[in-house]
Amino acid sequence: MDASNRERVLLVPGGCIVMYPEGWLLDPCGRWLLHFFADPKSLQRWPMFYMDKWSATEAGSPKSLINRTKVELEPALETWNELIQNGWKQVNDQFGEAA
């Protein structure tokens, strides 16, 4: 497991290891971005995640925040996987705190 994936691994009750959703996804038309990130204040045993929806520029970078949702691990994973299956692409650029 490389260093970038090690940061995305979570040990959940029962001893299972889960890759949690973290990063940016761009919709197939390039109009929307979703940013998934862990709530640093949530407990590791019951992690919470933020999903920020952004409008995207023509270059595929965040333009303006539309809304923020806070969810538990399972709905965050379900949403991430569903979006990937529907053609959303992970964006490797890190937009930083300015986004």
SS (H, E, C) 13-63: CCCEEEECCCEEEECCCCCEEEEEEECCCCCCCCCEEEEEEEEECCCCCEE
Indicate whether 75 belongs to any domain. yes
Indicate whether 29 belongs to any domain. yes
The answer, yes or no, to whether residue 69 has pLDDT greater than 70, is yes
- If one compares 85 and 99, the residue with the highest pLDDT of the two is 85
Indicate whether 15 belongs to any domain. no
Indicate whether 45 belongs to any domain. yes
pLDDT at 11: 54
CA-based torsion, 75, 81, 86, 92: positive or negative: positive
Indicate whether 65 belongs to any domain. yes
Indicate whether 9 belongs to any domain. no
Name the domain count of the chain: 1
Domain range for 57 = 21-91
- Six token digits for residue 5: 């994936």
Indicate whether 35 belongs to any domain. yes
Task: Identify the CA nearest to 89 among candidates 3, 29, 20, 9.
Answer: 29
- Six token digits for residue 53: 């929806």
- Per the CB < 8 A criterion, the answer to whether 18 and 35 are in contact is no
| Per-residue pLDDT tens digits for 36-62 | 999 999 877 788 999 999 999 999 999
Indicate whether 96 belongs to any domain. no
* Dihedral over alpha carbons 76, 72, 7, 55 (to 10 degrees): 40
